[in-house]
Structure 1
Amino acid sequence: MFKVLSLCFIFLSFNAFGQTVMVLGDSLSAGYQMPIERSWPTIMEQRLKASGQAEKVVNASISGDTTGNGLARLPALLDTHQPDWVVIELGANDGLRGWSPDLIRKNLTQLIKLSQQSGAQVALIQIQIPPNYGKRYTKAFSDIYPTVSAEQDIPLIPFFMEKVVLTPGWLMSDGLHPTEAAQPYIADFMSQQLKPYFGTRSN
Structure 2
Amino acid sequence: MDGLGWTRRDFIAAALAASYFGAAGAAGEPVILVVGDSISAEYGLRRGSGWVALLEKRLAAEKVKARIVNASISGDTTSGGRSRFAPLLQQHKPTHVILELGANDALRGLPLKSTEENLGAMTEAAQKAGAKVMLVGMQVPPNYGTDYANRFAGLFEKVAKERKAAVVPFLLQGMVDGADPLKWFQADRIHPREEAQPRMLDNVWPELKKLLK
Same fold (TM over 0.5): yes
Which amino acid in the other structure matches residue 200 of structure 2? I
Give the superposition deviation at 1:31.
Answer: 0.5
Match of 2:163 in 1: 152
Match of 1:119 in 2: 130
Matches within 5 A, 1:1-203: 18-165=29-176, 166=178, 167=181, 169-199=183-213
Give 1 or 2 for the bigger CA radius of gyration. 1
Q: Which runs of 5+ in 1 are unaligned?
A: 1-13
State TM-score, norm by structure 1: 0.84
- Paired with 2:115 and 2:34, the residues of 1 have a C-alpha distance of 18
Overall identity of the aligned pairs, in %? 38
**Structure with higher helix content:** 1
Q: Deviations over 1:130-150 (max 9, x none)?
A: 111011111121121121111
Which amino acid in the other structure matches residue 123 of structure 1? M
Give the superposition deviation at 1:79.
Answer: 1.6
Which amino acid in the other structure matches residue 132 of structure 1? N
Runs ≥4 in structure 1, deviation > 4 angstroms? none
State TM-score, norm by structure 2: 0.80
Number of equivalences: 184
1:145/1:189 CA distance change after superposition, 3 Å? closer
More deviation, 53-62/144-153: 53-62
Q: Which runs of 5+ in 2 are unaligned?
A: 1-26
More deviation, 47-56/76-85: 47-56
Q: CA RMSD for the aligned pairs? A: 1.7
